[in-house]
Structure formats: C-alpha cells, structure tokens
C-alpha cells in the first residue's frame, strides 16, 4: 500500500472549502489504496505564535524519513525553515488552495511578508498542487515556481439530481461562504440596497466565527439599509439543510474579491443554480458556458445591475439555469480529482 503523510493546520472539521477539500481528498486517496497519515499541526496558522510554530515543527520532524509529506498551504507558506529541512529526507509536496498574500483585508506589509515566506517555502518543495489554472499561473509568474513542478487538482463536485423548481413570486437568492472580508458581503449588501423595491429574499449561509468584525459589520449593514425582512443570516447549517436551501433557491450570489478556485460557486452550479458573482481569481474557470453573470470584484454598481436583470427577467433566469445544468456535467468528480492528486504525489520524485 502506498503511504503519504498529510499535514493539516487547525481543525480538519472546519466548515470551509479548503478543509472540505482536504477531508474529501483524504477519503478518496484511501479508496485509491493510499495509507493517509493525518498529521495535526495545531492552531494559529497562518499567523502562528512562536509556541505554535515550534509545535508544528516538532510534529513534522517526527514523521518517519523517506515518504512523501503533503502539507496544506495555510501552514506551508509560513514554514519556510521546515520546508528547507524536510525536503532533504522527504518528498515534500505543498497544497496551495489560495496564495496567502492574496487574502483580502490584510495590510500591505503583511502581504509582502507572506509572499516572501511562501515563495521561499514553495521553492523548497519537490512538487506543488494547486486547485486552479489561475493559481498555477500566479505561482509561476509571481512566486517563480517552475511550471513543470505544479499540478492542478481541481475540487470535485457531487452529481446532484436536480428537480424542477417551483416558480417563486419572490426570487430566492442564496449566498454561501464564511463571513470573512474576502467574500465581499459588504459589497453584496450595498448592491442589494439599491434593489429593495424588487421582489427578492437573500439567505446567507456561512460560519460567522472566523471574523467577528466582518460578521458585526454584515448585520449592521443589513439594519442600516432596512433589509432585515429581506436578508436572513443563517450561519452554519447542516448538509441536509443546505441541500434543501439550494433546492428552494433561484440564484446563487457571492461577491468574492478573490477565489483560488471557488468551491461554493461550483457546488451551486452542481445544484442547477445560475450564478451572479465576480471575476475574482479563478471564478471564471468555474462559472463557464453562460452559467452566470460575473462582474469586477468590488464594483457595487455592476453587481447591482447584474442582480437587477437576473431578478426582474424570468426568461434570463431560465436561460442561465439551463446553462448551469449543462455546465454542471463538465465539473470534475471527487474521484477524478483524487486520481489527479494521487498522480501528483507519485510524480514528486
């Protein structure tokens, strides 16, 4: 049986796309006859304290020599010293969901520091796995990583049996994503505030715990714009509840400033929902084939215009929905994605 150590920072059960990707890949690799040893690096990443960093380094040092180590980029990018050391005895593979320096809301000084740290760490790796062609291009152009050293293992999606939707008098919008600055909820609320006279309702599904300030600002924006009757902030929900929300919704909307892939967009399309979103990062790789309307990140007026035409024009919603259903069939399955990751691990030689 093939064996790989998969080093994960934080809580593997966290409800984010990155952790969801990690969980599913672990399960699928095991189905491909890999022994996956999950290595818990501890909390604090990508801003670990000295004690948290020392703990992670100790855990990595304890991994038996000789085998491959796959390290999630949330930690890998801030452990350049570990990368330099570990590559001597291990086939060291970085998994980059999203370049750390491109996180929304951080200072320019922190972005500069993160970019330098992540570049150094990645250049010490044997191989790098990314989730989109966009991220691959960024690593080649901005991080000076050799193209031959990078594999793309896009997130998978489940094949969903989409039932015909009832025609809603009130257009049901759904937004899914952790409540953090990068997801652009402030932009979305500002855009919808221009459309209060139209018949719509927005349900927001996302963990509020990652950025309390962003969550507070979201609620304040809803109240300030007198939209408490039109916007429901649901927080974390179960998988069954989310599936039910997808089934009862008409349009998926998310105003992300940047996505290394955009798993929430893909999941919405897999459920037959058209998208109104942005062209930030890799999102245009996901929302293809006329499955949605994408605008420049941060452009409130453009987002409001796209939402207006989608809410008001039932025929356009129908066309977008049909395109989304066709696009869904072209999204990779988790089994296909895991085979790509498996090949990348074996290619790290």
CATH of region 2-156+332-347: 3.40.50.2000
> Phi and psi at residue 276, in whole multiples of 5°?
-120, 120
> Which residues are within 8 A (CB) of 136 and not within 5 positions of it... i.e. 6 or more apart?
130, 147, 150, 152
- Contact predicate 209/180, CB 8 Å: no
Report d(CA 262, CA 176) in Å as an integer.
11
> Phi and psi at residue 236, in whole multiples of 5°?
-75, 140
Q: Measuring CA to CA, which residue among 167, 177, 171 is closest to residue 202?
A: 171
Report d(CA 202, CA 173) in Å as an integer.
5
Sites in the chain below the pLDDT cut of 50: none
Q: Is the peptide bond before 46 cis (omega within 30 degrees of 0)?
A: yes
Fold of 171-328: Rossmann fold (3.40.50)
> Which residues are within 8 A (CB) of 329 and not within 5 positions of it... i.e. 6 or more apart?
none
Delimit the CATH 3.40.50.2000 region(s) of the chain: 2-156+332-347, 171-328
Structural tokens at position 328 = 């869904």
What is the pLDDT at residue 160?
87
Q: Measuring CA to CA, which residue among 294, 296, 287, 295 is closest to residue 323?
A: 287
> Which residues are within 8 A (CB) of 72 and not within 5 positions of it... i.e. 6 or more apart?
6, 7, 8, 9, 18, 22, 95, 97
- Contact predicate 8/72, CB 8 Å: yes
What is the pLDDT at residue 164?
75
| Neighbour tally for 334: CB within 10 Å | 17
């Amino acid at each position: 049986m093939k064996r790989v150590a998969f080093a994960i920072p934080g809580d593997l059960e966290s409800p984010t796309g990155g952790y969801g990707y990690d969980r599913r890949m672990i399960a699928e690799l095991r189905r491909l006859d890999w022994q996956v040893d999950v290595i818990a690096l501890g909390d604090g990443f990508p801003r670990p304290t000295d004690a948290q960093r020392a703990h992670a380094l100790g855990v990595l040092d304890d991994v038996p020599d000789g085998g491959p180590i796959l390290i999630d980029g949330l930690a890998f990018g801030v452990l350049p010293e570990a990368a330099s050391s570990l590559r001597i005895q291990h086939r060291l593979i970085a998994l980059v969901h999203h370049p750390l320096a491109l996180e929304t809301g951080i200072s320019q000084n922190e972005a500069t520091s993160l970019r330098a740290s992540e570049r150094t760490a990645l250049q010490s790796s044997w191989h790098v796995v990314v989730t989109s062609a966009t991220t691959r291009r960024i690593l080649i152009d901005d991080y000076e990583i050799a193209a031959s050293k990078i594999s793309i293992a896009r997130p998978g999606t489940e094949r969903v049996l989409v039932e015909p939707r009832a025609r809603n008098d009130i257009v049901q919008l759904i937004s899914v994503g952790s409540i953090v600055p990068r997801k652009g909820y402030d932009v979305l609320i500002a855009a919808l505030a221009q459309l209060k006279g139209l018949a719509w309702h927005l349900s927001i599904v996302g963990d509020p715990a990652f950025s309390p300030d962003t969550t507070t600002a979201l609620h304040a924006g809803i109240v300030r714009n007198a939209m408490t009757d039109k916007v429901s902030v649901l927080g974390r929900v179960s998988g069954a509840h989310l599936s039910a929300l997808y089934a009862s919704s008409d349009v998926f909307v998310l105003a992300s400033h940047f996505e290394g892939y955009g798993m929430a967009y893909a999941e919405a399309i897999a459920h037959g929902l058209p998208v109104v979103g942005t062209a930030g990062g890799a999102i245009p790789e996901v929302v293809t084939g006329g499955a949605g309307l994408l605008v420049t990140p941060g452009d409130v007026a453009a987002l409001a215009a796209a939402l207006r035409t989608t809410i008001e024009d039932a025929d356009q919603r129908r066309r977008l929905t049909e395109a989304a259903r066709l696009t869904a069939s072209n999204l990779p399955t988790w089994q296909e994605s895991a085979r790509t990751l498996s090949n990348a691990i074996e290619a790290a030689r």
